[in-house]
Amino acid sequence: MHRRSLTFAIAALTATTLTACTAGTTGAPALGTQPKPAGSASAALPAATIELWHGFSAPGEVKAFEDAVAGFRKKFPQITVKLVKGVEDDQITQAVRGGTAPDVASSFTTDNVAQWCRSGVFQDLTPVIKQDGIDLSVLSAASRSYTEFEGKRCVMPLLADSYGLYYNKALMKGNAPPKTLSELTALAKKLTVRDADGTIKVAGFIPSFQYYENVPSHLAPMVGATWEKPDGTSAIGSDPAWKQLLQWQKELVDWYGYDNLDKFRKSLGQEWSAANPFYKGKVAMALDGEWRNAMIGSEAKGLDYGTAPLPVADDKPDLYGSGFTAGTVIGVPKGAKNPQAAWELVKYLTTDTDALVTLSNALRNVPTTKASMESPALEKDANFQTFLDVFAHPKTSTMPSNVNSAFNQDTLQEFFVRWEKGSVKDLDAGLAEVDKRIDDKLKLSGG
C-alpha cells in the first residue's frame, strides 16, 4: 500500500492550492453543531447515503476497504456507503472548493494535514471526539501528532507505515543485523563485493540519499534529529544530530566512491518491481517499510530474509528499536452533506479493532490502535512484528505538522544530494542556508 514516494509532487501541488483557497461553503451542517441523537448511535442516525473517497486502486486494496466497511454497514443498516477509489489529495481540495465534497475522504500522506486543518478543508473532529468520549491514548503519540495542527484534530490515523532494516540472510553470512551506525558501516564494507576493477557487484548497504527510501525523514530518527525549534522555526542548522548523520553517510559514500556507487545504483532494478535489487541479492541490507514484507511474499517467494530496527547513533543507544512513522489519514471534509453519519464511519474505521485488523491483514500496513496491534486475529510473523514494535516504541517519531511539510523535506533532500556528491564545502554554512530557506518560506505562509 506504500504511496509515500508518489505523494511529494501531489503534496506540493495541494499545498499551493490550499494557500490560495478558501474552502467552499454549501450550507451543510458542520460537525459538532447539531445535538447528539438520543439513544444508541445506530438506532438514532437517520437513513442517509454517504460517499467515501480513498486512494486505493488495486483490486485487492479496493476489496479490503469494502470488507472493512462491511462491519459498519451491519451496524448502521440505514446508512448506504458508496466507495470511490483512486482519489488524490488535490481532487479532495478542489471538491471542497467547488461545493461537491464527499462525506468522508482519506489520504496516503500526512504532508497536507497542517494545511487542511488551518484552511478548514477538513473539519475539526475535536468536538465529536469529546462528545463520544474517545480515549486518544489508544493511539501512539506519533500518530496523534501527525493528525492535528494548531489545536485542531482534523483527521484520524487509519493505518500506519513504519520503517526498519531488511537483510538478506544468505548475504549476511551469519552476521547479526547492526544496532549502531558504526556497526552498519563495518558490516556494509565487509559484505560489499567488487570486481577486480572496483566495480560494485553487491553492496552491503547503499548510503546514497538518492536510493529508494533513504530520504531525510526516514533517516532522522537514527540520530534523533529534530526538524523544528519550539518556536516552529527550522532546527536543521542548530541540531548537531543532522551533522552527525551527514558525516556518517559521507564517510561511507566516499569509501564506495561516489561515481562508483552512483553507477551501481543506476544499474539496479526498479523499487516497485520484481527486479528490486534486494530480491536479487544485489544489496545485503536496506531501509524499507513494513509493506515490503507483503511484496517479498508475492514477488520474491523463497527469499530468506530478516528484519530489524534501524541502526542508531553510537552515542544514543536508547533510540534503538524506534524509527520513523507516518500513514494514511481519514476525516470529514467541509461541506459533507451528512457529517454525523460521516463521523460515525470515520470513528468506526479508525477505532474498531475488527475493521483495523481487516485492513491490516489485507494491505499489510500497521494498524494504529493498541487493541488492533495486540489482536489475535492480526496476521503477523517475526518479520512483520518488527514494524509493530517500531511503531509502538515511545521514541518513534514523525514529521512535525507544518504548512510547508513537502517544501521542507524537498529542500533538505536537495541539500543532502549535493552533500553526498561533494558539492558542499562548508557543512555548517550549508545547513544554515537550509534553515534560511525553510524559515523564509514559513514567513511567507504566515507562520
Which whole number is the average pLDDT over 425-444? 97
Which whole number is the average pLDDT over 152-178? 97
pLDDT digits (tens, 9 = 90+) for 178-188: 999 999 999 99
Q: pLDDT tier at 31 (50, 70, 90 boundaries)?
A: confident
Q: What is the predicted pLDDT for the residue at 446? A: 83
pLDDT digits (tens, 9 = 90+) for 387-426: 999 999 999 999 999 999 999 999 999 999 999 999 999 9
In angstroms, rounded to a whole number, what is the distance separating the alpha carbons of residues 26 and 183?
A: 58
In angstroms, rounded to a whole number, what is the distance separating the alpha carbons of residues 107 and 229?
A: 27
Q: What is the predicted pLDDT for the residue at 44? A: 76
Which whole number is the average pLDDT over 27-52? 71
> Contact, 190 vs 205, CB < 8 A?
no
Mean pLDDT lowest among 11-25, 93-107, 272-286, 356-370: 11-25
DSSP secondary structure string for all residues of 71-110: HHHHH-TTEEEEEE-S--HHHHHHHHHTT---SEEEES-S
In angstroms, rounded to a whole number, what is the distance separating the alpha carbons of residues 132 and 139?
A: 16
Q: Residue 9 pLDDT > 80, yes or no?
A: no
Q: Residue 266 pLDDT > 70, yes or no?
A: yes
Q: Residue 36 pLDDT > 80, yes or no?
A: no
DSSP secondary structure string for all residues of 100-121: ---SEEEES-STTHHHHHHHTS
Q: pLDDT tier at 20 (50, 70, 90 boundaries)?
A: very low
Q: What is the predicted pLDDT for the residue at 30? A: 75
Q: Residue 13 pLDDT > 80, yes or no?
A: no
Q: Residue 37 pLDDT > 80, yes or no?
A: no
In angstroms, rounded to a whole number, what is the distance separating the alpha carbons of residues 414 and 347?
A: 39
DSSP secondary structure string for all residues of 186-229: HHHHHH-EE-TTS-EEEEEE---TTSTT--HHHHGGGTT--SB-
Which whole number is the average pLDDT over 298-322? 97
Domains present along the chain, CATH in parentheses? 4-161+325-392 (3.40.190.10), 167-319 (3.40.190.10)
In angstroms, rounded to a whole number, what is the distance separating the alpha carbons of residues 315 and 337?
A: 54
Q: Residue 34 pLDDT > 80, yes or no?
A: no
Q: pLDDT tier at 35 (50, 70, 90 boundaries)?
A: low
pLDDT digits (tens, 9 = 90+) for 127-150: 999 999 999 999 999 999 999 999
Which whole number is the average pLDDT over 93-121? 95
> Contact, 328 vs 359, CB < 8 A?
no
In angstroms, rounded to a whole number, what is the distance separating the alpha carbons of residues 163 and 218?
A: 7
If you count them, how many residues does the chain have? 447
